[in-house]
A = this chain, B = another copy of it.
Amino acid sequence: MSQLSNYTYDEINIGQTASYSKEISEQDIQLFAIVSGDNNPVHLDAEFAAGTPFKERIAHGMLSGAVISAAIALELPGPGTIYLGQTMRFRRPVKIGDTLTVELEVTDKRDDKQFVTLDCKVINQNGEVVVTGTAEVIAPPVKLVLDPPHLPTISLQD
C-alpha cells in the first residue's frame, strides 16, 4: 500500500484540488450498518427496498460522508489534519456498485488559526452529483510521510 503524505498549511493554496474514489460494495453497506447501528431494511433487504421510492437497496447517506472524510484525511490536507466541521446535502441516492469520487477544492484559508475551508462534491460513475458540502479543518503544521498501518482482514458470515 502506498505511503500517506500531507500538505502543510503553508503548502496549501486557494483553488488547490484533490480527488479520492471508492466503489461502494455490498459489504461496505453491511459494515456501515454494523458500525453505525442503522439496520434499516432499505439498506439491507432487496425485497423491502423494491417497494420504496428508491426501487432498490441504497447506501446509508452518511457512508458518503465517510468517504468525504477519508478524502480529507488521505489526500487534502492529509495526515495530521484536525477536522473541525462538515456540512452535507444528500442530493441523489447511492446504489451498490456505484463508484464515488470526492472532489475537494480549497476555497479559503485563515492564517491566524491555520484554518482551511474546502468545497466538497461527491459524484458517481455517471457524473451525477450525489452529495455537496463544505469542510473546515486545521491544516497540519508539519510535513508527514507515513507507512499506513496494517488493517485486519474481514470475513462475514450469515
Report if A35-B63 is in contact (Cβ < 8 Å); known contacts: A4-B40, A156-B152.
yes
Copies of this chain, count: 2
Cβ contact within 8 Å between B30 and A151: yes
- Report B-chain residues with C-beta under 8 Å of the C-beta of A154: 31, 34, 154-156
A interface residue numbers (CB < 8 A to B): 1, 4, 20, 22, 28, 30-42, 44-45, 48, 60-63, 65-70, 73-74, 79, 83-90, 146, 148-158
Cβ contact within 8 Å between A41 and B86: no
A-side interface mostly = mixed
- Report B-chain residues with C-beta under 8 Å of the C-beta of A152: 30, 156-158
In-complex Cβ contact of A151 among B33, B68, B89 (8 A): B33
- Report B-chain residues with C-beta under 8 Å of the C-beta of A39: 1, 4, 74, 148-149, 151
Q: How far is the CA of A153 from the CA of B155 in the complex (A)?
A: 8
Q: How far is the CA of A4 from the CA of B42 in the complex (A)?
A: 12
